[in-house]
Amino acid sequence: MDEVQPKHALAIDRRRVFSGGLLVCAPFAGSSSAQDRAAEFGTSGLDRGRVTVPVQINDSRALKFAVDSAANCSVIASDLIAPLGLALGETLTMHTLVGREETPSVRADRLHSDALTARGVRLAVGNRLAMDGLDGLLGADLLTNHRLLLNFKGQARTRIARSRSVARGFFDPVNPSARLNATPLPRFGDLLSIPIRVGSTPGIGIIDSGAGVSVLNRAAAAAGRATPAALDGGATGSRVQSPTGRTAPVDVMLLPALGFAGVTISRVPVLVGDLHTFDIWGAADRPAMLMGVDILGLFDSVMIDLKRGEFTLKV
């Protein structure tokens, strides 16, 4: 395997640790359809360790949403409900990183970002501070028929594109660059997961573009022989936070080696905890992780096709 070394092995600050992770809400939001792209909704980048894009709801100004490939439910900040004139909907049961939560929802006639246009959209209501000051989260419920193109080198840009209608053929032209592909595992709902190795032990990696820092369950930490580490301020423990503001404790640890898609990353700083997410997907007792932007951002670009279940890294 090729080896990739993180540039700042323990540069995890408290703000990034407090970012949330995977969330699931039921019932799911409305369907989406691709439309022609508007130029002003084509690019964005990184904000507080999260991948973001501009989003327009009804006729609103451009709002800043995180692109969260590990969320089955899209979320909007509560302080936008009145200014945008959104109608309150039913109460949702939302399974977040930290537990089962009840949250109100709102309805929007139209949501648009790049190649994504959705109508009759339902959004869970979240807390702006819990979402690092962002306006909301775009989840897999709206992104499921699209590709996410995350470019991390140069001026960071994110695009939401249409999913490829067919797989790339043998004679199709390709860019002359190194590409690494991971064969997806069976799907967790709309989410994309890939095989990983923690040390020499196989495990499951859920691709989480909404997390600034990657999270392991304790089975993965034990299998990979992770050791205690510290944040910049010296603390060895912290808390992760859901979009509503609920928190759960985690440990800060250093994973000696993480392998996936033909590469090995050494000395990976991670958060470790017995979190609700792993229980929901039946992965509490086997090595599993949420792979965040701290790892994805080590590559030039990442392509995530949620419709076709494709995951490609460019180096």
Is 282 in contact with 191 (CB distance < 8 Å)?
no
As a whole number, the mean pLDDT across the chain is: 81
Predicted local confidence at residue 191, as pLDDT: 79
Domains of the chain listed by start with CATH number: 2-19+178-314 (2.40.70.10), 24-162 (2.40.70.10)
CB 193 within 8 A of CB 257: no
Residue 67 pLDDT level (bands cut at 50, 70, 90): very high
What is the spatial distance between Cα 99 and Cα 315, in angstroms, rounded to a whole number? Answer: 36
**141 vs 1, more confident:** 141
Between CA 284 and CA 278 the distance in angstroms is: 5
DSSP-based three-state secondary structure for 108: strand
Q: Specify the DSSP element, H or E, that contains 298.
A: none
- State the number of CA atoms in the 13 A half-sphere of 271 facing the CB: 33
Q: pLDDT by residue (tens digit) across 177-205?
A: 456 666 656 555 667 889 999 999 999 99
In sequence order, what are the residues at sequence separation of 6 or more whose Cβ sits closer than 8 angstroms to the Cβ of residue 112?
35, 38, 41, 55, 56, 118
pLDDT-derived band at 91, boundaries 50, 70, 90: very high
Dihedrals phi, psi of 60, to nearest 5 degrees: -75, 170
Distance CA 136, CA 47 (A): 12
Write down the pLDDT at residue 281: 84
Task: List 241's β-bridge partners, or say none.
Answer: 247
CA nearest to 248, candidates 1, 21, 10, 12: 21
| Closest by Cα among 37, 52, 38, 31 to 121 | 31
Question: What's the CA gap between 237 and 234, in Å, rounded?
Answer: 9
Residue 25: alpha-carbon gap to chain centroid: 15
157 or 160, which is more confident: 160
Which two tokens mark 247? Answer: 């928190």
Q: pLDDT tens across 224-236, in order?
A: 999 999 888 888 8
What average pLDDT does the segment 199-215 reach? 93
What is the value of pTM for the model shown?
0.81
Report cis status (omega within 30 of 0) of the bond before 176: no
- Integer Cα distance of 134 and 310 in angstroms: 28
Residue with tokens 């050791």: 227
CA 245 – CA 98 distance, rounded (Å): 10
Give me the pLDDT at residue 153, please.
Answer: 83
Contacts of residue 8, defined as CB under 8 A and 6 or more positions apart, other chains included, come to none
What SS3 class is residue 207? strand
pLDDT of residue 222: 97
Longest dimension (CA), the chain: 54
